[in-house]
Chain A
């Protein structure tokens, strides 16, 4: 049982380049999330998708776009990468968007923008 799978695990980008982080979950969950974690900081919500077909901004959405491709997949796109986007990115999912639904995280994607 893979749970939440993110690709790529590591990526180095040059300033201004674009890339997409892919995420898929095999738990038939309705809700999916993208978080980032900077050194010495807690996780911050970038975007979330309460259910298939919906997406909403989180705490730090600037510079990112998302696509809920289907129930399984939720991608995060950086259109023009900036050094401030160097971070560890975590995709996550939960059965539904309500409080108390356990959120399951992927292993993380390490992104460096030079």
Chain B
């Protein structure tokens, strides 16, 4: 049973607009959440993370929001750029270790 869920597998957005990616989880023991970005034929690369004790973390154009009561997190990219076109994976870990559970990913296409 998948513990990290990403619905709406694909998203198209105009350059300059905001991209919002959503992620839901079922395991209440998760205490660390991450977003990874993946281009075709490459490995995933780390984008941004958030600890369960926080509700927001911002890094440049990327902001992650965590709503623990709803077991939901989201990634906001603003403004979106053509180079942001990729697959984005939500991931989570628990128990203070680095063993990640991944969602299925969201394909983002940024239209110039």
Tell me whether A100 and B49 are in contact in the complex, defined as CB-CB below 8 angstroms, given that A43-B89, A94-B98, A106-B43 are known contacts: yes
Query: In the complex, which residues 40-57 of chain B have their Cβ closer than 8 Å to any Cβ of chain A?
Result: 41-46, 49, 51
At the interface, is chain A mostly helix, strand, loop or mixed?
A: loop
Nearest chain B CB to A48 CB, angstrom units: 6
Q: Does A66 contact B (CB under 8 A)?
A: no
State the CA gap A107–B38 with chains docked (Å). 10
Query: In the complex, which residues 43-77 of chain A have their Cβ closer than 8 Å to any Cβ of chain B?
Result: 43-45, 48, 50, 58-59
Query: In the complex, which residues 12-54 of chain B have their Cβ closer than 8 Å to any Cβ of chain A?
Result: 31-32, 41-46, 49, 51
Query: In the complex, which residues 76-114 of chain A have their Cβ closer than 8 Å to any Cβ of chain B?
Result: 90, 92, 94, 96-108
* Interface residue tally on B, bucketed by range: 20 to 34
Q: Does B69 contact A (CB under 8 A)?
A: no
**Residue of B4, B32, B43, B97 touching A4 (CB-CB under 8 A):** B43
**Residue of A40, A48, A106 touching B99 (CB-CB under 8 A):** A48
State the CA gap A16–B89 with chains docked (Å). 33
Check if A43 sits within 8 Å of B41, measured CB to CB: no
Residues in B neighbouring A103, C-beta threshold 8 A = 46, 98, 100
Residues in A neighbouring B98, C-beta threshold 8 A = 31, 33, 94, 96-101, 103
State the CA gap A45–B94 with chains docked (Å). 14
Between A and B, 14 residue pairs with Cβ closer than 8 Å are: A41-B104, A42-B4, A42-B89, A45-B99, A45-B100, A92-B43, A97-B97, A98-B98, A99-B31, A100-B32, A101-B98, A103-B46, A104-B46, A107-B43
Which residues of A pack against B, CB within 8 Å? Answer: 4, 31, 33, 40-45, 48, 50, 58-59, 90, 92, 94, 96-108
Which residues of B pack against A, CB within 8 Å? Answer: 2, 4, 6, 31-32, 41-46, 49, 51, 89, 91, 93, 95-105
